[in-house]
Amino acid sequence: MPIYDQSYRPYRGALTSHTWRWWTITQAGLMQHLSRRLTLIFLFVAIIPAIVQGVIIWFSHQVTSQQNLFTVDPAFFRNFLWMQGPFLMLVCVWPGATLIARDLKTNAIQLYLSRPLTRTDYVLGKFGIVAGVAMLLLPVPALLLFIMEIGLSTDTAFLARYFWIPFAILGYSAVVITGAALLSLALSSITRSGRYAGLLFFALVICSRIAAGVATLLTQSHAWNVLSIGSLMDQVGALFFGGETEYGMHPVPAAFMYALLVSACLLILRRRVKAVEIVT
Amino acid sequence: MPAPERQGDFVIQVENLTILYGKGRALDRVTAGFPPGAVGLLGPNGAGKSSLLKTLLGFLKPDQGSARVLGMEVAARPLDVRQRVGYMPEIDCHIPGMNAVALTSYLGELCGMPRIEAIQRAHEALYYAGLGDERYRNVETYSTGMKQRIKLAQALVHGPKILFLDEPTNGLDPKGRMEMLALIRDLARRKGVNVVLSSHLLRDVEETCTSVVMLSHGRVVGAGSIESLKGAAGELFEVRVKGNPESFLRLLESRGCTAAAAEDGLLDIALHDGLGSDLIFAAARDTQVQVRHLVRKQPTLEDVFARAVGERVPAAGRS
């Protein structure tokens, strides 16, 4: 005879604060994504450039005669972050572009928003999933490389001269991750198919690059690089490293275009993430 | 509808609530009170039932009027309202890639429950909803009946004070429907949960609820306890006549009765305000029809609803 009958009873326990409810969405999404074998393989591949850079740092400290060939300076870290760009793009396609599209397909948004959650909590939670994976690819390995360089240095000259690099790494990462993640989420919110959203993301990034290249070629002006989403984000991020890039864009229009892109993404998310879709 | 006796008698109150969808009115100056216990939100498809529930959850902003749940203004405190309300949507919905335990506990965590407690409550809610052995299966593989059960479990996991059930028996086989209705009855009568059951199935509401709010074309056409509404429906008779029933019905209506042709050649006649059954025989004599069959009928919610909306209830609506 059971001593406790499984039945319904009111909940009288404590409740957590509303402030961090979005983190529950991020946490669950990250756990679900990182438990996949394909994700782990992807992360392993994406970390290879960091391993190579680590070997370069180690090598630069071992072979003194080769020091001029392997200089560890701000450009070294900026280039590393730039090299991770394609991996960031893949993260934005998967899981990024699937996150809201799948919820739209299965009507899950109504389940989320019938809880004490705001639409901002929901979007922030989904953003956290993309940002969480992206952080493993950009700032985390870059900061580890910085620590490695300090650890292998025999004096404090590098740290004294480049103490600002960790902030630059974080600033650059924040800019590119925020822009790319919001774009992928905005595209994800306009379709019920994660596949189409992913393709749309690819198409936008590549087509904008082609359009910027053609416009630059025709007008001989680098100002058109602001049309390229990838170059735009790299340019704005590079401001944290002094602003020097090969795109030749002026930082002000680049920052303006970036703000415009982020605002457009937020506007799309605001319009599309709703508990009820009203068809009139 | 009857005026509320006291403000405190209602767990939900809506006043002059209007919701516009473009040029159409989903809700048109709705004023109603929902007493504690199980209340049926009754109406044909498109009457505005789901719109009302979505407004009470804060999903829709009223174009006019206000709604209060447990004394809280929905427009001002939607999160506080949703903390205390469990919602079982009409549409099929789930979070992809999760089994029933993961989904239910996850939704409990989103209500602010600590993880361990959310998992424990998820197991309890799933057992209670009848998903004991199936709770580790991916929700995407569930049958319609099981999906209805998990929708109920997720609505219950955080221990709501009010449960909004939107067409909970949709797609259920007769056994599943009976079990779902038994759960709803148990929640309302033994577990102290206030239930708002939105349905177009009169029988479901009659079997589970003590009160109803009836909507038609976005307006409240009746409200109150089922018993009082049935009483107000008057004395009902089922009559079969030989001869011309049209003139017979017309005469009865002119003498203050409600009369309508039902199925199988039967006539439903309601006598109000102390009118006796002699009136039926007098009308038969005056229109020269023979009364072949006369049975006193127990008024049903169907009769009440038909009278409220001023039309016969379609056969599908009676179920």
Q: Do A25 and B110 touch (CB under 8 A)?
A: yes
Chain A nearest-CA distance from B51, in A, is 10
Structure tokens at A151: 């650890």
pLDDT for B121 equals 95
End-to-end CA distance of chain A: 57
Chain B residue closest to A4 (CA)?
Answer: B124
Chain A partners within 8 Å of B186 (Cβ):
8
Q: Rounded to an integer, what is the distance from CA A147 to the centroid of its chain?
A: 22
Find residue B212's DSSP bridge partners. Answer: B40, B224
- ipTM for the complex shown: 0.91
* Surface of B (4-33) touching A: CB under 8 A: 21-24
Q: Quick one: pLDDT at residue B314?
A: 42
**Nearest by CB to A108, which of B80, B95, B109?**
B95
Q: Return the sign of the alpha-carbon dihedral for residues A144, A149, A155, A159.
A: negative
Q: What pLDDT score does B305 carry?
A: 86
Residue at token pair 């974080």: A170
Which residues of chain A approach chain B closer than 8 Å at the C-beta?
6-18, 21, 24-25, 28, 32, 102-103, 105-108, 110-118, 274-276, 278-280
Judge whether residue B3 has pLDDT over 70: no
Mean pLDDT of chain B: 89
Most B-contacting residue of A4, A7, A9, A11 (CB-CB within 10 A), to test interface: A11
Which of B5-14, B24-33, B264-273 is predicted with the least confidence, judged by mean pLDDT? B5-14
Task: Please write the tens of the pLDDT for every residue from B115-153.
Answer: 999 999 999 999 999 998 889 999 999 999 999 999 999
Cβ proximity of B104 and B157 under 8 Å:
yes
Residue A275: partners with Cβ closer than 8 Å, 6 or more residues away: A109, A110, A113, A114, B54, B57, B59
Cα gap B55→B171, rounded to integer Å: 25
Sheet holding B219-225, edge to edge: B85-88, B162-166, B194-199, B38-42, B211-216, B219-225
Measured in angstroms, the CA of B22 and the nearest CA of chain A are apart by 5
Put simply, the answer to whether A113 touches B59 (Cβ < 8 Å) is: yes
Q: Which two tokens stand for residue A180?
A: 């790319």
E strands of B93-179, at which residues?
A: 162-166
pLDDT tier for residue B312 given thresholds of 50, 70 and 90: very low
pLDDT of residue A68: 62
Find the CB nearest A276 among B23, B59, B125. Answer: B59
SS3 content of chain B, % helix, strand, coil (to 5): 40, 30, 35
Laid out side by side, the sheet with B72-73 consists of B24-34, B12-21, B64-69, B72-73
Q: Count of H helices and E strands in chain B?
A: 12, 14
CB B68, CB B102: distance < 8 Å: no
> How would you label B288-307 residue by residue, b for 16+ Cβ within 10 Å and e otherwise?
ebebeebeebebbbbbbbbb
Determine contact: B95 vs chain A, CB below 8 A: yes
From residue A19, give the alpha-carbon distance in Å to each of A115, B49, B110, B158: 14, 33, 11, 18
Residue type at B74 in one-letter notation? V
Looking at residue B216, what is its pLDDT? 93
Beta bridge partners of B18: B64
Q: Report the alpha-carbon distance of residue A234 to residue B310 in Å, rounded.
A: 68
Q: What is the pLDDT of residues B259-307, one digit of tens each?
A: 888 878 888 888 876 677 888 899 999 999 999 999 888 888 888 888 7
A230, burial (CB in 10 Å: exposed 0-12, middle 13-18, buried 19+): buried
Q: Among partner residues B89, B111, B186, which is closest to A115 by beta-carbon distance?
A: B111
Establish if B46 touches chain A: CB-CB under 8 angstroms. Answer: no
**pLDDT, tens digit only, all 280 positions of chain A:** 445 556 788 898 999 999 999 999 999 999 999 999 999 999 999 999 999 999 999 988 887 665 566 788 999 999 999 999 999 999 999 999 999 999 999 999 999 999 999 999 999 999 999 999 999 999 999 999 999 999 999 889 999 999 999 999 999 999 999 999 999 999 999 999 999 999 999 999 999 999 999 999 999 888 888 899 999 999 899 899 986 777 777 888 889 999 999 999 999 999 999 988 766 5
Buried b (16+ CB within 10 A) or exposed e, A63-102: eeeeeeebebebebbbebbbebbebbbbbbbbbbbbbbbb
Beta partners for residue B20, in sequence order: B25
Whether A110 and B89 lie within 8 Å, measured CB to CB? yes
Between B40 and B316, name the one with better pLDDT: B40
User: Which long-range contacts (C-beta less than 8 Å, at least 24 apart) are formed by B108-111?
Assistant: B108/B157, B108/B158, B109/A24, B109/A28, B110/A21, B110/A24, B110/A25, B110/A112, B110/A115, B110/A116, B110/A117, B111/A15, B111/A115, B111/A116, B111/B83, B111/B157, B111/B158
Which residues on chain A are in Cβ contact (under 8 Å) with B95? 103, 106, 108, 111
> What pLDDT score does B318 carry?
41
Instruction: Map residue B224 onto helix, strand or coil.
Output: strand
> How far, rounded to the nearest angstrom, does the alpha carbon of residue B59 sit from its chain's CA centroid?
20
Contact B110 A17 (CB under 8 A): no
**Residue B90 contacts A, CB cutoff 8 Å:** no
What residue has token string 């209340």? B39
> Alpha helix (H) ranges present in B196-300?
202-208, 226-232, 245-254, 278-287
- A5, A115, A188, A276: which to substitute to probe chain B, counting the most B Cβ within 10 Å? A115
Judge whether B220 and B213 are in contact, CB under 8 Å: yes
Q: Is there a contact between B116 and A25 (Cβ–Cβ < 8 Å)?
A: no
Closest CA to B26 of B74, B77, B64: B64
Quick one: CA torsion of A175, A177, A183, A184, rounded to 10 degrees? 180
DSSP assignment, residue B99? Answer: B
Residue B5 has pLDDT above 50, yes or no: no
3-state secondary structure of B244: coil
